[in-house]
Each structure stands twice: as C-alpha cells, then as structure tokens.
Amino acid sequence: MKSSKSPLLAFALICSSVSASPIIGGQNVTMVLENRATPTVVTAAILANMQLFAQYAAAAYCNADTNLVGSAVTCSNSACPSISSVTNYAYLGYDQSEATGFVSIDDTNKLIVVSYAGSDNLDNYIADLLVPLDTCDGNLVSGCKLHEGFQYAYEDVADTTLPAVKSAVAAYPTYSLVITGHSLGGAVATIAAAYLRVAGYPCDVYSYGSPRVGNEAFVNFMDAQAGSHYRVTHTTDPIPRYPAKLFGYRHTSPEFWLSTGTSTTVDYAVGDIEVCTGIANTDCNDGTSSVVTTPHSYYFEDISACR
C-alpha cells in the first residue's frame, strides 16, 4: 500500500464514521516459547527484534516466488540488508492467490521465519474490502469470528504453510519459529499463527500495520496461546484502525506504537515506543484520526520498497 489513497482507505473511512528472547547482532540465541503474556516493557532486545523482523516482512514483497526457493534472500532498495545470508526455503501460495509468502531459514539466529506479503494488487484490495465477520474455519474457539476477506486470504496460503513449517521444523528442530507480515501480510500472519499454534507449532508473531482481524473471542484466544505477539503500529497509520470496532472487531493486545517523529520516520529508540494494553484501547494509534496512508509504508524502513 504505497499510495496515499486506496480503496481500502476510502472504505475504512466510511466504516470509521459510522515473547521473545533477544536476537541481536547475529548472536545465536534461541527463543524459548512458553505460555506467557507478551512483555509490556520495551527493551533494547525487543526493539532489535522488531527491527529484524520488519526486514523479514519487507522481504516478503519480493521473495515470495517459487523460482527463488533455495537461493539467498535479496531485496531491492536495501529493504533487508541484515538477512542477506538467509535461505529462501519454501514458497507459500499459488499462481492466482491473493496472499503469498515464503519460509526462510536463518542459520545465524537459528530461526525459521514465515513471512507474508502485504497488499500488492487489486485482488488483495478486494479481499481487504470484504468486511463481514465470518465464523472461523476449523473451530479455533467457541464464538470465534474472522474478517471474511482476511480469512479468504489466509486460506490461499494455508495449504502450503503447514506442510512447509512441518518440513522446516523437522529439518531444523532446534530453531525457533516466527511469523511476520506487513499490512494484509500482518493480518494473514496473525491468523496463520493461531492455526499453527493449535497444530502444535508454538511461534512468536511480529505484525506491522495490521488491520483488525477478528472478534473478541478470537483475539482473547490468541492472546492466551503460547508465544508472544508484537503488534506494531506507526504514528497515525490509519490501516490498524480498520475495520471499525463498531462491527465487532478487536485487536490483539498489547500494541507497540511507534509514537514519535513524522510519517516517514524509521529510526526509533526504546523510549519512542509506547505500549498500550487492551483489545479496544484508544491510547495509542487508535487515538489518532489522520487519513493519510504514508505512515503505513514506514515501519523501521520503507517496508514495502522491495518489489
């Protein structure tokens, strides 16, 4: 979503009106996932992880390609300089899928990372615009409902995600599993993580500029699962405020808000990140009202620059 105006934004405005251990500096640190709450105090280690996985989310825009499997991850416009030694392990999706992604193997940090791409074409925008909440497939938890369009997008990658993760975990059993994505990719990452955890694959999630994905039953279920969820928002980015809460949508908690600077600021210190708890909090990004989408593209970098 690079443009300042989009079908998603226009519709969003209408709607609105009515765990991780550190992975720093190439150290081989294994994350131990357990049934615990996401930390609500930002440390240098957490900030470093947010910066690292933003690059993985950025890489999904240009590495989700069957022809790149087996090669090193590369990004144009210097979108992922810290993960150039990472291997593209598997492609997620199919030729006509609205959502795509890839699995990578990071031997330096002992990670298996699943990255989903954000909106990149008209089909993705159509998926974004399908507003109704629909019953969760697979009966995650009683009363669970998901955004219909985002659930459809997840289903595009579901059949390839689980086998790829199963294969990667079998090949690298000591590596930790992380799921990430930006924009629509963040929504898909959130849903995918819930299903992977149920399937026996605990994971941490790093989402950037994700819209709301499901209802209260879903987010409470996800917040109680093993593994942490770092939901990052940027200044006045309007996309996390979509779809509107009045339709029954809620966010996972907590939120990590890059609160200072301009719409294109990418350099943040620990003190610049505010943490807000609650599935319907209005103290961070949801307390803003700007409709300009520029901040949506800047999460520690120009996150959708790699095309």
> Measuring CA to CA, which residue among 156, 36, 49, 17 is closest to residue 113?
49
- Is 181 a member of any domain? yes
Tokens of 305: 């620059």
Q: What is the pTM of this model?
A: 0.89
Residue 59 located in a structural domain: yes
Looking at the chain, the whole-number percentage of residues with pLDDT higher than 70 is 84
- 303 lies in a domain? no
The Cα–Cα gap between 50 and 300 comes to: 8
Tell me, yes or no, whether 6 lies in a domain.
Answer: no
What are the structure tokens assigned to 93, written together? 């999706």
Dump pLDDT digits (tens) for 278-305. 999 999 999 999 989 899 999 999 998 9
Pairwise CA distance, residues 248 & 259, whole Å: 26
Write the pLDDT tens digit of every residue in 110-129: 999 999 998 765 455 545 65
Q: Is 26 a member of any domain?
A: no
> CB of 246 within 8 A of CB of 305?
no
CATH number of the domain enclosing 195: 3.40.50.1820
Strands (E), 107-189: 111-116, 133-135, 145-147, 176-182
5 inside domain: no
Annotate 57-96 with b (16+ C-beta within 10 A) or e (fewer): bbbbbbbbeeeeeeeebbbeeebbebbeebebbbbbbeee
User: Measured between alpha carbons, how far is 95 from 72 in angstroms, rounded to an integer?
Assistant: 22
| Average pLDDT of every residue of the chain | 87
CA distance 39 to 230: 9
Q: Kindly state whether residue 9 falls inside one of the protein's structural domains.
A: no
pLDDT at site 128: 61
Once rounded to an integer, what is the mean pLDDT over residues 151-170?
A: 96
At 23, is the pLDDT very low, low, confident or very high (cuts 50, 70, 90)?
Answer: very low
pLDDT digits (tens, 9 = 90+) for 25-65: 343 333 344 445 688 999 999 999 999 999 999 999 999 99
Catalytic site positions: 183, 237, 296
**Number of structural domains in the chain:** 1
User: 70 lies in which domain range?
Assistant: 31-297
Question: What would the mean pLDDT of 90-97 be, rounded to a whole number?
Answer: 88
67: helix, strand or coil: helix
- 211 or 14, higher pLDDT: 211
Give the burial class of 269: count Cβ atoms within 10 A of its Cβ; 0-12 exposed, 13-18 middle, 19 or more buried.
Answer: exposed
Q: Is there a domain that residue 290 lies in? A: yes
